[in-house]
Amino acid sequence: MSWTDERIATLKKMWEGGATASQIADELGGVSRNAVIGKAHRLGLKARPSPVKAAEKKAAVAKKPKPAPKPAPKKPQVRADAPPTEPAPAPSTAPPPAAPAADRKPEPQAEPATASSNQAQPLPNRAPDLPKIVSVGPGGFLRQGPGDQQPPIPPAPPRRLVPAKPSPEIADKTSLLDLSEKVCRWPMGHPGEPDFHFCGTAVNPGFPYCVEHCGRAYQAQLPRGSRRPPPPLPFGGPRVR
DNA sequence: CCCTGATTCGC
DNA sequence: GCGAATCAGG
């Protein structure tokens, strides 16, 4: 398998959607988990919670519980001879940014959910919060995650629970679950049919069938030449429709 | 053991 | 560029 544009697109979508490399590999097919990871990194879309990185991050957090004002170590390609575009930070008179992200909107979560407006790119610019966990189904569509679901507040129906009956057709028939060592297991009809059931009458002691069906299940071997055509077996011949 | 992602390195 | 092998944590 080669990395066609479609496959790369699926890889990107699923990777950014939070699917694991195994899920992506298995969705794409023909590639291994390692191949997906390697391709993802080659595409430049790394940075996902990995066990190793998580541990490192955790260690760093534990090591620095205090919000130390860390000067940005990244110098985005500033030429050494270029004049500094950013003036030096003001002296201590300036108020330090001590409250990070304190003025965030509560995000009212007012998604209209008209059920007709979900397209293939349903994810708007999401706040850089925790990585969204998205399950990706066949074809690469993003399934709704547990966090997306607004719990619809089950209306707690004050109804009386009634044991469901399988169907009126089979109501008093002997179903598979009704079988025991005491009832005849002779099948009536064909499996899969709505009214398929078992004989269910009292068993011929020591046999799995009632007396009548024992007579069909066990037949004396007659001498050659005098055999009758056997009666139809329970699962015997072709379906009669 | 299983899982995960990251990295390396021969092809 | 590719991906198996390997590493390392959960």
What confidence tens digit (pLDDT) does each residue in A172-221 have?
777 767 777 888 888 877 767 677 788 888 888 888 888 888 888 877 66
Strand C: which residues 51-110 of A lie within 7 A (CB)?
51-52, 54-55, 58
Instruction: Give the Cα separation of A72 and A83 in Å (integer).
Output: 18
Buried b (16+ CB within 10 A) or exposed e, A137-153: eeebebeeeeeeeeeee
3-state SS assignment for residue A229:
coil
Q: A50 φ, ψ to 5°?
A: -105, 155
pTM: 0.36
CA A131 → C1' B8, Å? 27
Contact criterion met (CB below 8 Å) for A173 and A184: no
Chain C bases near protein Cβ (<7 Å): 1-6, 8-10
Residue type, A197: H
Q: For residue A39, what pLDDT band results from cuts at 50, 70 and 90?
A: very high
Span A111-151, pLDDT tens digits: 444 444 444 444 444 444 445 555 555 555 655 555 555 55
CA A33 → C1' B5, Å? 10
Instruction: Give the Cα separation of A20 and A37 in Å (integer).
Output: 9
Chain B bases near protein Cβ (<7 Å): 3-8
